[in-house]
Amino acid sequence: MKDSNYNFQVPDYSVSKEIFQLEMHSNFEILVTTPQPKLEKLPAYYKSEDYISHTDSKRNLFEKAYHVVRSIALKRKLKLINSYCNSDKNLLDIGCGTGDFLQTAQQDNWTVSGIEPNLEARNIANIKTKNSVQDIVELSNLEKESFDVITLWHVLEHLPDLQEQIRVYKTLLKNSGTLIIAVPNYQSYDAEYYKNFWAAYDVPRHLWHFSKKGMSQLMESHGLKVIETKPMIFDAYYVSLLSEKYKTGKMNFLKAIAIGFKSNRAAKRSGEHSSLIYIIKKA
């Protein structure tokens, strides 16, 4: 995986069925989806009823299970941001989807702001958060150094202008603030097992694919420092379920649970969980 010539093909299983290349970034240990769709074409790749983060639907067992896990995850996320807040409680959540995390934080007396480019998801989020969510074009209008915590829960991998986005987050963060980024880890056991069937590649919606070293390199290039990583245990099971569907045409619950368990067990030794949360501070 660390070979600079690393290159393989991954189909878009969920929408277009097009084939994309994953190529190693020239400066960081990050894989790049190639070619990257033009900005005006990107929204078309999200037009799927199965894109669950943009809806609150519970149509089947899989979606119901997703929402049960999400409710547990929301409590853990709240506990996490509370542990890194030592002054005011000003939160910015980038790519907030339908606003459940913001709503949870708001109920815990956080002053919340959200950014969500999808209109349908943004409308749902604004109902839940008393109109605290704006379109991405408003990001540059937010007050500099005004947030104690900025979060991106499985969002950074979607953003076209990666370098500019990180620069903006740094300007919005208080000097004592914390940037929290959760992304898939292509060096996990389940990624190695499923290879180009690994659902967390999710091309071309995921434009970038991160390793621990690559994330640290990227942040250091902006004067930021990864001070800690934390696992997202449930992701190994969720991603394995989708990966089984892509590989075999079926969910194969028992097989997916077994692979998710093996991935988490392997990560106890290696630290390479299916998804990782990076805790980042200004250097």
pTM (two decimals): 0.92
pLDDT at residue 219 tops 60: yes
Residue 117 per-residue DSSP state: -
Inter-axis angle of helices 212-220 and 162-172, nearest 10:
60
**Quick check: 138 and 164 in contact, CB under 8 A?**
no
Q: Which of 3-12, 58-67, 234-243, 259-268 has the lowest average pLDDT?
A: 58-67
Number of domains in the chain: 1
Residue 78 lies in a domain: yes
Coil, helix or strand at residue 67: helix
Residue 261 lies in a domain: no
Residue 268 lies in a domain: no
Please write the tens of the pLDDT for every residue from 180-193. 999 999 999 999 99
Give the separation between CA 128 and CA 213, rounded to whole angstroms.
Answer: 37
Residue 120 lies in a domain: yes
Please write the tens of the pLDDT for every residue from 124-152. 999 999 999 999 999 989 999 999 999 99
Give the separation between CA 122 and CA 104, rounded to whole angstroms.
Answer: 16
3-state secondary structure 119-143: HHHHHHHHHHHCCCEECHHHHHHCC
State the pLDDT at residue 87.
74
Please write the tens of the pLDDT for every residue from 45-88. 988 765 555 455 556 665 666 667 778 889 999 999 999 987 78
- CATH number, position 108: 3.40.50.150
Residue 254 lies in a domain: no
State the pLDDT at residue 58.
57
If one counts every other C-beta atom within 10 angstroms of the C-beta of residue 142, the result is: 15
Token pair belonging to 117:
């480019």
**Quick check: 245 and 74 in contact, CB under 8 A?**
no
Q: Per-residue pLDDT averaged across 221-241, rounded?
A: 96
Residue 52 lies in a domain: no
Residue 66 lies in a domain: yes
pLDDT at residue 168 tops 60: yes
Residue 148 lies in a domain: yes
Count, residues in the chain: 283
State the pLDDT at residue 8.
87
Q: Which residue segment(s) compose the domain that 102 sits in?
A: 27-34+59-187+198-233+275-282
